[in-house]
Amino acid sequence: MVKPAQMQCVSAKTTPVSVLVMLDQSSTLLGMFCAAMLSQAGFSVNVNKRNRHKHHLGDHSAVVLTPELLITLSQLGIEESALVGRAEGQYYLADRLMNWRATCVAPESDETLIGLAPSGVNANGIRFLHYLTRYRAAHSANLSDFSLNTLCAQRGVFTHPVSDPRSVLSTLEYGLMVNTEALVELLREVAIRCGAGFDASAKSMEHNLTIDCCFSDIDDGNWPLPFSTYRRLSEAEVSAMSVLPLCHNQAWTEQGLAQTCQLKTSRHGQLFGHQAEYAFAVGNSAPPEWVVSAEVGQIILNNQGLMRYLADQGLLFYAGILQLLSDTIAREAPDQLSDPVLHHYFNRTALQRYSGCYDTAMLRFYFAQPHTEANRRGLSQYQPSSELTHLFDLYSQSGVLPEYEHYEADTHWLENSLAALGQYPQGHDLMVDGLSEQQLDTFITQIRSRLNATAQRLPRIEE
Amino acid sequence: MFQAPKHPIQSVVILGGGTAGWMTAAALVKLLPQSQLTITLVESDAIGTVGVGEATLPHLRYFNQRLGIDERQFIRETGATFKLGIEFSHWGRQGDAYIHPFGDYGKPANGVNFHHFYTAAKRSDPSLSLDSFSLPVMACKAKRFDFPSTDPQSLLSTYSYAYHIDAGQYARFLRSFSEALGVTRIEGKVVDVITRVSNGEVAALTLENGDRIDGDFFVDCSGFRGQLIEQTLHAGYEDWSHWLPCNRAVAVPSKHAGDPLPYTKAIAREAGWQWQIPLQHRMGNGLVYCDEYMTAQQAEDSLLNALPGAALAQPNHLRFCTGKRQQSWLKNCVAIGLSSGFVEPLESTSIYLIQAAVMKLIELMPQRANMVVKGREYNRYFDHEMTRIRDFLILHYHATQRDDSAFWRYCKTMLIPDSLQEKMTLFTRYGMIEPYRYGLFLEPSWVAVYYGQGIIPQSVDARAVAQHQHDTGAATAAMAELAKQVDESVMQLPTHAAWLNRLHSEHTPVPAGQTASASLYGVRHG
């Protein structure tokens, strides 16, 4: 992936649009990301932090950054070296799912990895999964066997990928898992460097635009999640869990879904469940009206739906909605921000992206079969959208995935996720049948051998 | 021992030849295992083909490459010339002209598209021209051509190319190709279509001579009438003529006047537009018009009076209704080509739509059990593709200041789809173009038409303005340098005529390593 040049803070000679970013202790990451992005883009930004909740409800102690997010942060001037050096950054290669198929496989086998990068090698215009599907009719093989990402994650090895497409190492893609507080501080430094103010007394009426990132627990039921409570795991709890360092670990337990990750010097984790005894509840709410004209000349952006997306702030950015916001409000004159055509465009596009992001995230929950009845009951309330239903039907019968404009996730991520949950198509592309059995066997074996040989040569990450 | 799964779909029957039928046959026979599938094409020499689709898009190179067709052989067999874009004249105003290129303009910066920077810079330097920042536009103007560079760092990789071809010769070439690989061609006129009582699927075709052609799956390439998809299965038609009012065309080949140009011409006329498509040995000409504003005789006279050289045949008149089938895939039949719908060839989309349909069919080639879900996906995909192309074509007509005829007054004031209205408003006010991941015409194409037809944004992205104002000298110098690089690169290219002459030499190969991609634009920056 080609990294674009880092953006410079640009101060316009004309009067820039003034923006008030409101956040609270449960939305510091989202709010600070917003402030940094907009201040670097030349807006006059003020940040107003409110103290609303006793506990950190939305912000997790660690956040997972995808390769795309690393590029976005790099454009803000936050390089990988800073994330590794100051935010305990640990390389992220795959999601590790444990106990997701309790009703289907033996407990000792119920672990699978979803690599970030495409698996296998496409050939002759045909995706690799089709070759594998035909191969699986007579052999045992999983898609994750053909992913350098998962092979490295299993072995605990890593090196930076190369750009030469002839090298197997070019097929590796990575993100970072970082300490949230440290990332917030890095973003705050960007915002300050680009002129953002932190005035606790700043008011909406004094600005052209207000962006309210504060956490909210309003529930209108449009975007149901399979959980109703959330808490951070204690140090003791996290230490007791099985963690692969290069993975975002997601394990179903008696209490619910535990997400853990190993940073450079610390472990972090949170638990999503249905425990009534926890004092604070994660509400299931929607992005009702993304941009609502509250008063003349003002727009309020409400982030409720974003925060509800599994309450994992790393996923907030997958939908690219803050980038969309930045593009939409980058107007030459403040009065342009009251244009309802802009509002409609942002609302429509943000909602489309959010629904695509929601579908993509919920996909794995649709196929999850965790141990306890309480967990399964929570999942059973989720009904997939018509787009996702069509995707499942088409994929299961043919191995083809529809190209939905509003699904930001790449096709390979969907394939890797479905395969990880044991969902392989019943049919494959007929063009694959042009290969003889021996040719297919050779093709598959060669790929597997090259990947294994490459992974075996890589250095282990520092423990 | 691996056993191929039993495919209940064992025979495919294609009704209709022409470009659609033979592209379908060629792709099916080449790309699908022949041990499992028989392919039969039924056509009648007595039924003519439309034969006006002669300008293509870069995607055809990808299609040919997948089929293993040698480019030099293709150029020789089809009388092809190269194409870097389309010149549109008199669309915004009488006397204007712009080129919609197969390439991008300038380079984006920090996620902001180039046209914002260009517009900001033009405020202080009105002499700037967007054309200067597009290599294919400047190459067209200079009548030059070369194959793009395969080096992604080179400016010479930032464009693509297509061809002007004789579609009839292409179909004949593909017929030979297909029959050599095992497609069975049956000459005959279909007089009846037999359907299954149980489910209404097409079961067989009956020919005039009494022969019966059975099949498991049918591809309707019978043209506008849609003998299977419409006359038999009653798929229904969605009429778009209120947005694209042209409903007639007259076509005639002529001699050239000078060397063939490396671009198509689309010349707006009083009730429609005229095309000029330069082949190696002749010019393809046509006039697309609306019969509410012009009679057939007037159209013929108008076209004949505007030919670059002597006519080489009698004019051929056509009638059409712009729109699409409500379902292009219905039961066990898929319509490809004119039978699936029609939009005028303003942006050379006819052969592209055939190719897109064929490749999607191959990707979704059904077994009986999954026909419904695959048909649903095919229709979803095709609807999306056609609707976006439709909106882009409507833009050409609606984004006009012309009011010199009743036709143009209608186009200027007609109601347009909401989707397009929003797009035009956002661009006019803010220079915003909604980014798409999928689809044929992406931001560079919209930039070409908007600016070319005089739609200049009232304001642009503030980040571009700020960057320009931050250091106007540096910004101006960077633009000048880019324009200089484009100019210098273009002047190194051979002329289009020289390339055509070289290709006739037995010893001149097409440069190796030309990997065709499914894109209009070559390598894009950003």
C-beta separation of B333 from B327 below 8 A: no
Chain B: give the shortest CA distance to residue A130, in Å.
Answer: 11
Average pLDDT of the segment spanning A349-356: 80
Burial class of residue B99 in the structure, from the number of CB atoms within 10 Å of its CB (0-12 exposed, 13-18 middle, 19+ buried): buried
C-beta separation of A158 from A120 below 8 A: no
* CA gap B282, B308 in Å, rounded: 10
Residue A292's nearest CA partner among A329, A251, A347, A243 is A347
Average pLDDT of the segment spanning B513-519: 67
pLDDT tens digits for A67-106?
988 998 998 999 999 999 999 999 999 999 999 987 777 7
pLDDT of residue A23: 82
Among the options B83, B331, B360, B374, which is catalytic? B83
Tell me the chain A residues in contact with residue B5 when contact means C-beta distances shorter than 8 Å. Answer: 137, 427
| Nearest residue of chain A to residue B9 (CA atoms) | A430
pLDDT at A3 over 80: no
Tell me the chain A residues in contact with residue B469 when contact means C-beta distances shorter than 8 Å. Answer: 12-14
Flag the least confident range among A84-93, B204-213, B500-509.
B500-509
- Domain-located, residue A45: yes
Instruction: Report which of residues A281 and B329 the model is more confident about.
Output: B329
Average pLDDT of chain B to the nearest whole number? 92
pLDDT at A208 over 50: yes
Cβ–Cβ gap B33/A431 under 8 Å: yes
Taking the Cβ of residue B516 and every Cβ of chain A, the question of whether any pair is shorter than 8 Å is answered with no
> Best mutation site among B9, B12, B216, B363 for testing chain A: the one with the most A CBs within 10 Å?
B363
Tell me the chain B residues in contact with residue A331 when contact means C-beta distances shorter than 8 Å. Answer: 430, 459, 462
In percent, how much of chain A has pLDDT > 90?
Answer: 44
* CA gap A256, B271 in Å, rounded: 68
> Best mutation site among B107, B463, B517 for testing chain A: the one with the most A CBs within 10 Å?
B463
Which segments of B263-325 does DSSP mark as H helices, in order?
Answer: 296-305
pLDDT of residue A338: 79
- Domain-located, residue A442: no
Helix, strand, coil % (nearest 5) of chain A?
40, 15, 40
Tell me the chain A residues in contact with residue B110 when contact means C-beta distances shorter than 8 Å. Answer: 4-5, 7, 75
- Domain-located, residue A145: no
pLDDT at B367 over 60: yes
pLDDT of residue A217: 53
Average pLDDT of the segment spanning A376-382: 79
Is the dihedral angle over the CA atoms A50, A56, A59, A62 positive or is it negative?
Answer: positive
Tell me the chain B residues in contact with residue A398 when contact means C-beta distances shorter than 8 Å. Answer: 364, 370, 373-374
In percent, how much of chain B has pLDDT > 70?
Answer: 94
Cβ–Cβ gap A5/B425 under 8 Å: no
Distance of CA B493 to the CA centre of its chain: 26
Chain A: give the shortest CA distance to residue B143, in Å.
Answer: 34
Left, alpha or beta for B514 (phi > 0: left; psi -120 to 50: alpha)?
beta
In order of their start, the domains of chain B are: 10-102+160-401 (3.50.50.60), 103-156+417-494 (no CATH)
C-beta separation of A122 from A423 below 8 A: no
Tell me the chain B residues in contact with residue A72 when contact means C-beta distances shorter than 8 Å. Answer: none
- Domain-located, residue A456: no
pLDDT of residue A309: 28
* CA gap B283, B296 in Å, rounded: 21
Chain B: give the shortest CA distance to residue A323, in Å.
Answer: 10
pLDDT of residue A109: 74
- Categorize the per-residue pLDDT at B82 as very low, low, confident or very high, splitting at 50, 70 and 90: very high
> Best mutation site among A1, A332, A403, A432 for testing chain B: the one with the most B CBs within 10 Å?
A332
pLDDT of residue B305: 96
* CA gap B480, B473 in Å, rounded: 11
pLDDT of residue A40: 87
pLDDT at B321 over 50: yes
In the block, residue with structure tokens 């030349």: A42
Taking the Cβ of residue B2 and every Cβ of chain A, the question of whether any pair is shorter than 8 Å is answered with yes
Instruction: Report which of residues A161 and A208 the model is more confident about.
Output: A161
Look up B360 and say whether it is catalytic. Answer: no
**Three-class DSSP category at A114:** strand
- Categorize the per-residue pLDDT at A311 as very low, low, confident or very high, splitting at 50, 70 and 90: very low
Count of domains forming chain A: 1
Chain A: give the shortest CA distance to residue B82, in Å.
Answer: 25
pLDDT at B264 over 90: yes
DSSP codes joined into one string, B242-260? TTS---EEEEEEE--SSSP
Across the A:B interface, residue pairs with CB atoms under 8 Å apart total 127
- Categorize the per-residue pLDDT at A404 as very low, low, confident or very high, splitting at 50, 70 and 90: very high
pLDDT at A303 over 50: no
What are the two backbone dihedrals, phi and then psi, of residue A284, each rounded to the nearest 5 degrees?
-100, 100
Average pLDDT of the segment spanning B420-442: 94
Taking the Cβ of residue B432 and every Cβ of chain A, the question of whether any pair is shorter than 8 Å is answered with yes
H or E stretch covering A48: strand A44-50
* CA gap B173, B182 in Å, rounded: 15
Instruction: Report which of residues A216 and A246 the model is more confident about.
Output: A246
pLDDT of residue B213: 98
Cβ–Cβ gap B469/A12 under 8 Å: yes
Task: Identify which of A11, A17, A332 has the shortest CB distance to residue B459.
Answer: A332
pLDDT at A305 over 60: no
pLDDT tens digits for A7-59?
455 544 556 788 888 887 777 888 899 899 889 888 899 999 877 655 445 55
Cβ–Cβ gap B380/A330 under 8 Å: no
pLDDT at B47 over 80: no
* CA gap A359, A405 in Å, rounded: 13
Chain A: give the shortest CA distance to residue B360, in Å.
Answer: 11
pLDDT at B242 over 90: yes
- Domain-located, residue A157: no
Tell me the chain A residues in contact with residue B467 when contact means C-beta distances shorter than 8 Å. Answer: 10
Tell me the chain B residues in contact with residue A5 when contact means C-beta distances shorter than 8 Å. Answer: 109-110
The CATH number of the domain where A101 resides is what? Answer: 3.50.50.60
Tokens representing residue A296 in the block: 């003349």
Beta bridge partners of B101: B85
pLDDT of residue B514: 62
Across the beta sheet with B212-214, what order do the strands follow?
B190-195, B202-207, B212-214
- Domain-located, residue A394: yes
pLDDT at A287 over 70: no
pLDDT of residue B507: 60
Residue B300's nearest CA partner among B252, B267, B346 is B252
- Domain-located, residue A255: yes
* CA gap A374, A253 in Å, rounded: 11
Tell me the chain B residues in contact with residue A336 when contact means C-beta distances shorter than 8 Å. Answer: 429-430, 459
Chain A: give the shortest CA distance to residue B429, in Å.
Answer: 9
pLDDT tens digits for A237-273?
999 999 999 999 999 988 889 999 999 999 999 888 7
Query: Are β-strands B217-220 and B11-15 bridged in parallel, bridged antiparallel, or unpaired?
Result: parallel
pLDDT at A286 over 50: no
Average pLDDT of the segment spanning B268-282: 95
Average pLDDT of the segment spanning B466-488: 91
pLDDT of residue A135: 96
Average pLDDT of the segment spanning B240-262: 94
Cβ–Cβ gap B110/A7 under 8 Å: yes
Average pLDDT of the segment spanning A130-149: 96
In percent, how much of chain A has pLDDT > 70?
Answer: 82
Cβ–Cβ gap A125/B376 under 8 Å: no
- Categorize the per-residue pLDDT at A283 as very low, low, confident or very high, splitting at 50, 70 and 90: very low
Burial class of residue B297 in the structure, from the number of CB atoms within 10 Å of its CB (0-12 exposed, 13-18 middle, 19+ buried): exposed
Cβ–Cβ gap A398/B374 under 8 Å: yes
Cβ–Cβ gap A333/B36 under 8 Å: no
Chain A: give the shortest CA distance to residue B47, in Å.
Answer: 33
Interface list for B 109-138 with A (CB within 8 A): 109-112
pLDDT of residue B3: 36
- Domain-located, residue A239: yes
Instruction: Report which of residues B146 and A204 the model is more confident about.
Output: B146
pLDDT of residue A350: 77
Cβ–Cβ gap A397/B369 under 8 Å: yes
Tell me the chain A residues in contact with residue B36 when contact means C-beta distances shorter than 8 Å. Answer: 430, 433
pLDDT at B361 over 50: yes
Flag the least confident range among A83-97, A287-301, B271-285, B303-317.
A287-301
* CA gap A80, A71 in Å, rounded: 9
Cβ–Cβ gap A429/B7 under 8 Å: no
pLDDT tens digits for B390-404?
999 999 999 999 999
pLDDT of residue A307: 29
Q: Which domain holds residue A78?
A: 18-116+174-428
Cβ–Cβ gap A330/B462 under 8 Å: yes
pLDDT at B461 over 70: yes
| Nearest residue of chain B to residue A138 (CA atoms) | B2
Instruction: Report which of residues B202 and A377 the model is more confident about.
Output: B202
Residue A258's nearest CA partner among A272, A274, A279 is A272
Average pLDDT of the segment spanning B71-95: 94
Identify the DSSP state of B147. P
Cβ–Cβ gap B370/A332 under 8 Å: no
pLDDT at A289 over 60: no
Chain A: give the shortest CA distance to residue B62, in Å.
Answer: 10
